[in-house]
Amino acid sequence: MFTIGTRTIKTAISVVVALVIAQLFELDNASTAAVIALLSVQSTKKQSVIVAMKRFTACIAGMLLATVLFEGTAYMPITIGLLLFLYIPIMAKLQLQDGIVPGFVIIMQMYVKGDVSVDFLINQVSIVSIGIIVALIVNLYMPSTENKLREVARETEENMKQLLLQLSRFVRQKEPVWNDEFDIRTAESIKEGQLLAKRNVENSFFRKENYYEAYFNMRSEQIGIIQRVLPSILHFP
């Protein structure tokens, strides 16, 4: 069935709002604010803040580097190549890879303009800021995962219970053939729970761990032990 997720809705809202604001301020290349907003909407609040800081830093660094190279040499395609030889490794070294694409978009607009002025640089910084800030504000809303976490925890409990009961019946030779259905289902529900719990923690700026993260980590260790000893148990005479 075709569904529209929360992130898709937030992305669409961010793009529209960023574009409207950039046009209200009559900025050149206003559409770039919409592109940056689209790239800046993330799955969690913490991730959004981190990516936003990286993208803003990378864009500013790209503008400074482009200014030096364009004004120091010429606005030519070979200058773009030289710039990338410097820009990409520097961003990778500083762990700012998330900002390379929007940074390069800004650089290409400088190339097309063919001239670097203070007004134009302010225009570009404004575009980047609008796109990032709008995405951050929209991303403050995150749907609660508490109900889903409780559901997955109950599912994990039931799967593990059935796994241990099946193991007991097998050892007592009341079940001659081993079926790994509940082994697989337990591992899958634990993995899903760990992802949800991690996302729940990253949607809070102050909480480092919660009950569900500790719970699913514990269950992960337990299922790991069961899976390690299972081959030996299944070969008991």
pLDDT band at 208 (very low <50, low <70, confident <90, very high): low
Mean pLDDT for 19-29 is 90
Contact 235, 77 (CB under 8 A): no
Percent of the chain past pLDDT 70, that is, above it, reads 93
Percent of the chain past pLDDT 90, that is, above it, reads 11
* 3 state SS of 27: coil
CA distance 95 to 39: 17
pLDDT band at 207 (very low <50, low <70, confident <90, very high): low
CA distance 99 to 128: 11
For residue 190, pLDDT over 80 is answered with yes
pLDDT of residue 3: 61
